[in-house]
Amino acid sequence: MKILTRYFLKEFFKFFFIVLLGLTAISLVSEFFDKVDEFYSKEPPVYLILEYLLFQSPKFILYASPMASLLAILITIGRASKWKETIAVRASGGSIKKLFSSFLLLGIFISLSALFAGEVIAPASVRKAAWVRNVKILKQQPKIMYREKAIWLKGLDGSLIRVRDFIDDQNKILDPGIYIFNNSFGLEKRIEAKEGEWRGSAWELKKVTIIDFKENTTSRLESFTTTALEEPKIFREEMKQPEEMSFAELYSYHNRLENAGFKNLKYTMRLYEKLAYPTVNFIMILFGIAISLNTRLGGGIKAASLGIGISVLYWLVYSISISLGNTSAIPPWFAPLIAPLLFCIAGSVMFLKVKE
């Protein structure tokens, strides 16, 4: 059995890497054509384009791994069935379930690897890709800096502005501070507020304290309108996106918003999605084993077509659950878990029904 296990594992990895590299290559080509107008207008050196695509690769590899796992196991077992290898195992008294149970351990290993990549490698590479695109290719200098758990940027009037957090879906900022300096960079005025909201052409700060060092006065206002800060677009373009954050970073950001009294369904779902997505590799291998051993499936076009069909069905269920989570029809933390749970249960039931 150990020889057969090694043989089938070798076959699995062969097809796994072929599919994984193929899907990643397709994604990179798609990314290139999506950004081709930018590349054409700026005419960057070829090596910068390749560098940008290289840093995007870990993200696409992570996205492609579940389908690669599914297609690889379907093709491997499908070919074994086509060439009567599974029949030979049964005829010799071997357990077909036991033989392919080792692939479940492999699925756990791939899921853990995907979890590590999603936490450590992919966020860092996506941030680096964004930096290469914005700074090296588009020649845009960063307008936002992250220091001491806050966002710092230069105001339109030359002031220095600090913002603790930005609430994307409400166009609000938390704990903004505006520091106004004189020509010799001496601090003249400091404006602190609890929050600010974009009003279409300016920011309205609320519960404001203004400290005037030049006049040596302190005043408190319920609201104060300022045009020193750019429109919300700057935060959406330059702040870290969920895909650029690790679970710990996203969890910290989510908690800060929750503690400030703001609930963002998108970030809640993205938080649990980061935990749920890596498990899809294990689920697809379990589902693929169960389907293959319960049907007479060849290792060619039929296996590939079935794999694509299962993937489409999975993402359809996942998309519907995410849509329901966005509307609060179901708890947002539960929405990313519905598709993995349903397919895991279905795969487990079919696996238990496999005849020896």
DSSP 192-209: EEEEEEE-SSSEEEEEEE
> Closest by alpha carbon to 134, among 143, 122, 123?
143
Q: What is the pLDDT of residues 40-85, one digit of tens each?
A: 888 899 999 999 999 999 999 999 999 999 999 988 888 877 766 6
Residue 204 has what pLDDT? 95
Q: What is the pLDDT of residues 121-144, one digit of tens each?
A: 999 999 899 889 988 998 887 777
**Taking residues 96-110, what's their average pLDDT?**
86
Compute the C-alpha angle 197/216/161, nearest 5°: 30
Phi and psi at residue 177, in whole multiples of 5°? -135, 135
Q: Alpha-carbon distance 153 to 162, whole Å?
A: 7
Q: What is the pLDDT of residues 274-329, one digit of tens each?
A: 888 999 999 999 988 888 887 765 555 676 777 888 888 999 999 999 889 888 88
Confidence of residue 111 (pLDDT cuts 50, 70, 90): very high
Select the more confidently predicted residue: 93 or 5: 5
Distance (Å) of CA 355 to CA 39, 161, 222, 293, 303: 56, 68, 73, 8, 20
Residue 54 has what pLDDT? 96
Q: Report helix angle 265-276 to 335-352, nearest 10.
A: 30
Residue 28 has what pLDDT? 96
Tokens of 235: 């935060």
For 1, residues 6+ apart whose C-beta sits below 8 A from its C-beta are: 94, 98, 99
**Taking residues 2-19, what's their average pLDDT?**
88
